[in-house]
Structure 1
Amino acid sequence: MENFKKLKEFIYADLFRYTGRPKCTKLLLECYLRKPGFKFLFWMRCCAYYSKHKSPVFYYCKWRYLHYSYKFGLQIPYITFIDKGFYIGHFGNIIINQRAIIGKNCNISPGVVIGQSNRGVKLGVPTLKENVYVGPGAKLFGEITIGENVAIGANAVVVKDVPDCGVVVGVPAKVVSFLGSFEYINKKI
């Protein structure tokens, strides 16, 4: 995030995904106090911004970010590229590799791992495009691309690319339809 305006834009986009209402300071405070996922995202975004601007405020932000990371069981490095409108439905046991790329309006559920593959032809980390829903317990590994409007079912293990609007389930995950994530992703920015 280059400037403070961009930081606010990202925070209010995340807020919209949680509330579906336009930005306002009262709403921000209410969501911060009631939604653990949003509280974590707030400090994660602040860490990402202040780390690039060499501000002493960064150390306070990082302390809050680490506190909520441990408290809510979220292992998402603040340097991970996560676009606007990120939504953590329920906190707990979510692990995302710092080199993963996550597009706009993505939903992540508890028990999700977006990790790195250290060998084979898919050496690397996943890229999730816009409007992706990742169900509870799903695991995504390797240099794979998850297309736009994809829904990944609960406990699926995804190790291959998924085309746009695909719905994948199983171990290993297979495309079962092309109905996409349209019913899972609401309040798009």
Structure 2
Amino acid sequence: MWNLLRADAVRISAEEEILRGFIHGAVLFHDDYASALGALLAHKLGDRNMPAERLERLTHEALIEDPGIVDAGAADLIAILERDPAADSYLTPFLYFKGFHALQWHRIGHWLWTHGRHSLAHFLQSRVSEVFAIDIHPAVPIGRGVFIDHGTGLVVGETAEIGNNVSILQEVTLGGTGKEHGDRHPKVRDGVLISAGAKVLGNIVIGRGAKIGAGSVVLKEVPECATVVGVPAKVVGWCSGPAAALAMDQSLPEPDYSI
């Protein structure tokens, strides 16, 4: 993947002279994916109060201490190319897709959280929310191969969980139902597709391979492989092929007018 990303960077640098310096600094200057990713993330989030150079030292610390962050980020990038027709190469989402950037920052914030550095993790959560309009609590564990498409307005609460190979679109909420403390947010299993604007509320399980229709409000557990839609959401169909998150098919079953 890194070799393909670099090849795309060389091609774009030749085609667009005005981007040459940016592409060189973001990709071609670096020896490996981890170095490029850490520098890119730092420059996306840095400001005068927290300069990019300081954030880059933090990203490299995290990526060296936990190589799993790098592996998961590579899986996320591959997932984008496989599931998003707007991604024409690895380079495009790597440089420009804020859902990808926010997710990689979350992985670093989660690493900080699990090492007891809660204040810095909260700082990063706040900055990511300001810059990318994506708000994920740093306590949330997230699996590999996760695709956050667009991501604007995404909110994920503290005790939520997100599995492997999940796809989530913009304006999704994984939230609570009140002001109670404790375990209060959804658990999203592997292969789930959550379509735009869906609200999933409470300590409920969204079963493996399920699909949640756009604009739905989910208040009860969703069985494995089910398609749910509506306010409140109800089961309207069942999967018959690849996991919903991989197929990215947001259509719904045709209604049966014969009944």
TM bucket, shorter chain: 0.7 to 0.9
Aligned counterparts of 2:139 and 2:185: Cα–Cα separation in 1: 14
Which residue number in structure 1 is paired with residue 155 of structure 2?
95
Map Cα deviations across residues 8-64 of structure 1 (whole Å, 9 max, x no partner). Answer: 2221121221224xxxxxx87653312111111122112222444578xx9988766
Which residue number in structure 2 is paired with residue 115 of structure 1?
175
Q: Does residue 45 of structure 1 match 2:107?
A: yes
When the two structures are superposed, what TM-score results if normalisation uses the length of structure 1? Answer: 0.79
On the 8 A contact 1:133/1:181 being kept in 2, the answer is no
With over 3 angstroms needed to count, the CA separation of the structure-2 counterparts of 1:59 and 1:12, relative to structure 1, is: farther
When the two structures are superposed, what TM-score results if normalisation uses the length of structure 2? Answer: 0.60
Helix, strand or coil: the match of 2:106?
helix
More helix by share: 2
- Cα RMSD after superposing both structures: 3.3
With over 3 angstroms needed to count, the CA separation of the structure-2 counterparts of 1:62 and 1:130, relative to structure 1, is: same
Helix, strand or coil: the match of 1:85?
coil
With over 3 angstroms needed to count, the CA separation of the structure-2 counterparts of 1:37 and 1:119, relative to structure 1, is: closer
With over 3 angstroms needed to count, the CA separation of the structure-2 counterparts of 1:59 and 1:42, relative to structure 1, is: farther
Map Cα deviations across residues 124-172 of structure 1 (whole Å, 9 max, x no partner). Answer: 2211110000011111111211101000001111111111110000011
What letter is aligned with 1:40? A
With over 3 angstroms needed to count, the CA separation of the structure-2 counterparts of 1:11 and 1:62, relative to structure 1, is: farther
Helix, strand or coil: the match of 1:176?
strand
Helix, strand or coil: the match of 1:47?
helix
With over 3 angstroms needed to count, the CA separation of the structure-2 counterparts of 1:30 and 1:61, relative to structure 1, is: farther
Helix, strand or coil: the match of 1:186?
helix
Structure 1 window deviating more from structure 2 (178-187 vs 144-153): it is 178-187
Helix, strand or coil: the match of 1:32?
helix
Q: Specify which of 67, 74, 81 is matched with residue 5 of structure 1.
A: 67
On the 8 A contact 2:194/2:213 being kept in 1, the answer is yes
Seq. identity, %: 30
Structure 2 residue runs without a partner (length 5+): 1-62, 83-88, 248-259
On the 8 A contact 2:134/2:154 being kept in 1, the answer is yes
Q: Specify which of 164, 171, 179 is matched with residue 104 of structure 1.
A: 164
Structure number with the bigger relative contact order (C-alpha 8 A, sep ≥ 6) is 1
Structure 1 window deviating more from structure 2 (74-83 vs 176-185): it is 176-185
The number of residues matched between the two structures is 179
Which residue number in structure 2 is paired with residue 67 of structure 1?
127
Aligned counterparts of 1:52 and 1:31: Cα–Cα separation in 2: 28
On the 8 A contact 1:37/1:90 being kept in 2, the answer is yes
Which residue number in structure 2 is paired with residue 135 of structure 1?
195
Structure 1 window deviating more from structure 2 (79-88 vs 161-170): it is 79-88
Map Cα deviations across residues 38-92 of structure 1 (whole Å, 9 max, x no partner). Answer: 111122112222444578xx99887665433212211112221111112111121
Structure with greater Cα Rg: 2
